[in-house]
Chain A
């Protein structure tokens, strides 16, 4: 298993490198126009544009720029390690801004993940057990709604109904509105501000997970070994929890790992709707503003997150399914 993990880590590093190179090509090489013009002042002259290009390193061939980027990534730059450079827009070190924003995105992702696993798996299990019942149909109706409703709409409705700045019934407005409050400022306010965006983000995923859990569990409960377990006299609860659920959750685990990893790159829409000031809303604006170091840094972080979580998922998978063994 250790050898497997080491091999996977090397492979992950290679994949991340390829991702950054592709990102470079997509954002630095392919687009028409010169991003330096945008940052060269009110009336850019050839001199100011050249000065910006030199400052931003855009005067070098793209492969040289990429080489410098990788080198600084490994060795660090004047702002520390890893060396992500500075934001073209604000001249703030990308690393510093990333360190400030990443916890907000992580809180959002983890909070939503906890919510959607609890809600989604629970609904899925109940639905599978009570298959065909009214409860099952209501659950799947909820799942259909969750899958169909756009996240931005859900967010706006949630703010309208439950936020104290919304226009809904006053008796429902018991949560604060948008914005992020640091934990150090007020743990209570931090938590209260986290509720709505987490639930809104979780709803879509909960719907998927409910459907997937239900389908997998129904299929698993039809297996021979389940019948054997029942025949041996185990309680239905034990049959489901110990035998049925464990087997049916393996694809859910795989999906969970990938979903959380992708959210680390920023739940863009949720962050924008709730003014969450995380990584997602930051990178979207950077994309439109041609703020390339920010884009590349966030893509890199996202790629690393996917690679790491993919490895974690595989390890957990091996634990859940004893038939899986890595050499």
Chain B
């Protein structure tokens, strides 16, 4: 009896404990899914983040950043081939080029300015010759510590043309240089179109006028490369990243210990461990007199970028001031927390990063081979719902066309060819459009042909993809289209491969390489970039009958519209305003006549920083923190 009484008391206590726990307090563990984002206030209602006056920024200290899971470098941090935004953000501290950016937010951050070049280049009347003169006193860092010459730039471009190295990056931008393709094809050793008459002068001869050439020489791959080191790594892209010689204000920690006597004596610089950390210290050979504070202020003495496999821990550490900045994927949960808490609002940096996400429709696969279906999809899609699935308005603004607003001409501001109230879709207008489609056999506004049912949709496996699927299906259902959705860990293997004939994908996005719409149109809508193995042009805009045969797909009887000639015409324009206007006209053509996408969000970059940060700026070019414009208050920093 006594034992059963004890059991009963214990059970009662346990029940009370559970009741108390259920009634109050927060879960110890964060919820698996982000909370409904409609509770988050829109980004525009958040009080503007006030930057402390620049006088408060003190030099010195270490800027500590956690990077979630992996650096995810695509080419081992080799600047000739590395094309990740995170890599480009780091390169701002390590590599100076002929031209560079201010590393600040907004349009001023997208304007190329002379860096190692003494001034803007001389450009010939026909736009085919660019002559740059280098500054005095510019040097590579340790262990070389020697002057940078025009030959170092010429070598960098030759490395770009090297099919074993540069081919893995973005060589398309440099094919306009005379002789570049000959090196890429193995027919020549050096690029005939690059001259270096003396150590201070470099001349580029182009095959055609290229209005955005200054942007192209501002890319990390166009920075100077010392042949005495990099020639040891000319067989493949990647390994040079661990031996990177600085031309910027910072260098890899341990660079001075690199033994460059021969290729065999070189050991990877300790400051970069691709699986663990990237540590940067000041470059003693950097001369601030050759630079300007407008481009680089270089407050901190050292950077520590460390991998953190636990995203929640990333955010706990920044809140505890154990780190100063994060490259961890903020979810709706963090966005909500930081936008709703007045004490945290200033720590959340939201800036439009010139990227766009879209639903892609394959112009060769039914029912999307009919432009009326594509237009109807644009009219019916609930973009607000998609944004909510991703985390709410703070994540970005509803996109209405195919390039970021910062690259669009003034007449494209507010341009929306498929308007609907609150971007929630207009089923009535969509059905009217659908009636014109051959797939609406009874013209009732619903896609009723067999091709409209169980259309394959390839999506990723992230939380936002899961949230997007019901929105896409519900919207499309209003015009009679149903999807068979497959979620994959790596959807890009299929959506970028034309032979897979994927008709639709909701997992597609793009970010600029530089602030000219060419970087969008070239990869996303130029038919000449389509190969059977790979293309970013998922809709297959500009596909020719010959290409279709090579890929093994049926070429539509009506053909596939192309904008290749329009792209060529726009890129040839030297004047930025005129060229931008040209891109604007092309945007309208793509959105109104071709309609390959349903663009749905112009995304914001979301970066959480600690209270330790006294100065911070957003690098509009890379979409990351402007590391050469940050400062910390060392007294607030905690140790982990």
Q: Is A273 an interface residue (CB 8 A)?
A: yes
Instruction: Please indicate the chain B residues that have their CB under 8 angstroms from the CB of A161 in the complex.
Output: 28
Q: Is the CB of A33 within 8 A of B74?
A: no
Q: Which residues of B contact A282 (CB under 8 A)?
A: 275
Q: A7 contacts the other chain (Cβ, under 8 Å)?
A: no
Q: Is A281 an interface residue (CB 8 A)?
A: yes
Distance between Cα atoms of A274 and B81 in the complex (Å): 33
Output the least CB separation between A41 and chain B (Å). 3
Check if B169 sits within 8 Å of A165, measured CB to CB.
no
A254 at the interface (CB under 8 A from B): no
Q: Does B83 contact A (CB under 8 A)?
A: yes
- Chain B residue at minimal CB-CB distance from A268: B309
Assign chain B's interface to a size class: 35 or more
A92 engages B274 (CB within 8 Å): yes
Partner of B322, one of A55, A137, A160, A165: A165
* Chain A contact patch, size range: 35 or more
Contact at A277–B275, with CB atoms within 8 Å?
yes
Stretch at the interface among A72-80, A112-120, A151-159, A234-242: A151-159
Contact call B640/A176, Cβ cutoff below 8 A: yes
Q: Which residues of A contact B638 (CB under 8 A)?
A: 164
Judged by a CB distance under 8 angstroms, whether B70 is at the interface is yes
Asked whether, in the complex, the Cβ of B275 is within 8 Å of the Cβ of A90, the reply is yes
Residues 268-289 (chain A) with a chain B CB within 8 angstroms: 271-277, 281-282, 285, 288
Minimum distance in angstroms from A274 CB to a CB of chain B = 7
Tell me whether B163 and A165 are in contact (CB under 8 A).
no
Interface: B62 (CB within 8 A): no
Residue on A nearest B165 in the bound complex, by CB: A41
Task: State whether A92 touches B275 (Cβ < 8 A).
Answer: yes
SS of B interface (majority): loop
Partner of A178, one of B73, B238, B308, B536: B308
Please report the C-alpha to C-alpha distance between residue A39 and residue B172 in the assembled complex, in whole angstroms. 18
User: Do A285 and B69 contact each other (CB < 8 Å), given the known contacts A156-B28, A177-B316?
Assistant: yes
Complex CA–CA separation, A34 to B322 (angstroms): 41
Contact of A273 with B310 in the complex, beta carbons under 8 Å:
yes
- Scoring B237, B274, B276, B533 by chain A CB atoms within 10 A of each residue's CB, the highest score goes to B533
A312 and B199 alpha carbons, distance in the complex (Å): 68
Q: Is the CB of A271 within 8 A of B640?
A: no
B57 interface contact, C-beta 8 A: no
Residues facing B in A256-303 (CB within 8 A) are 271-277, 281-282, 285, 288, 290
- Chain B residues contacting A37 (CB-CB under 8 Å) are 493, 496-497, 533-534
**In the bound complex, how far is the Cα of B310 from the Cα of A176, in angstroms?**
15
Is A48 in contact with chain B by the CB < 8 A criterion?
yes
CB of A111 within 8 Å of the partner chain = no
Contact residues, B330-346 vs A (CB, 8 A): none
Q: Return the chain B residue nearest A278 by Cβ.
A: B309
Residue pair A43, B320 in contact (C-beta under 8 Å): no
Inter-chain CB contacts under 8 Å: number = 139
Encode contact with B along A145-173: 1 for CB under 8 Å, 0 otherwise: 00000000100110111011111000000
In the complex, B483 has a CB within 8 A of chain A:
no
The yes or no answer to B307 lying at the interface (CB within 8 A) is yes
Considering only residues 1-41 of chain B, those with a C-beta below 8 Å from chain A are 6, 10, 28-30
Give the residue among B164, B309, B533 with the most A Cβ atoms within 10 A: B309
B555 within 8 A of A: no
Is the Cβ of B69 less than 8 Å from the Cβ of A33? no
Q: Is A49 interfacial (CB-CB < 8 Å)?
A: yes
State whether A44 touches B534 (Cβ < 8 A): yes
Q: Are B74 and A41 in contact (CB under 8 A)?
A: yes
Are B489 and A288 neighbours in the complex by a CB distance under 8 Å?
yes
Partner-B contacts on A (CB < 8 A): 32-34, 37-49, 51, 55, 89-92, 97, 101, 134, 137, 153, 156-157, 159-161, 163-167, 176-179, 271-277, 281-282, 285, 288, 290
Q: Supply 11 further A-B pairs (C-beta < 8 A) apart from A161-B28, A165-B317, A288-B489.
A: A41-B75, A43-B172, A45-B167, A51-B164, A51-B167, A89-B274, A156-B312, A159-B316, A177-B317, A275-B309, A285-B69
28 contacts across the A-B interface (CB closer than 8 A): A39-B74, A41-B83, A42-B74, A43-B170, A45-B167, A45-B531, A45-B533, A45-B534, A46-B533, A49-B533, A49-B534, A51-B164, A51-B167, A55-B236, A91-B76, A91-B238, A91-B239, A97-B275, A101-B275, A160-B28, A165-B316, A165-B319, A178-B308, A273-B310, A276-B309, A277-B276, A281-B309, A285-B69
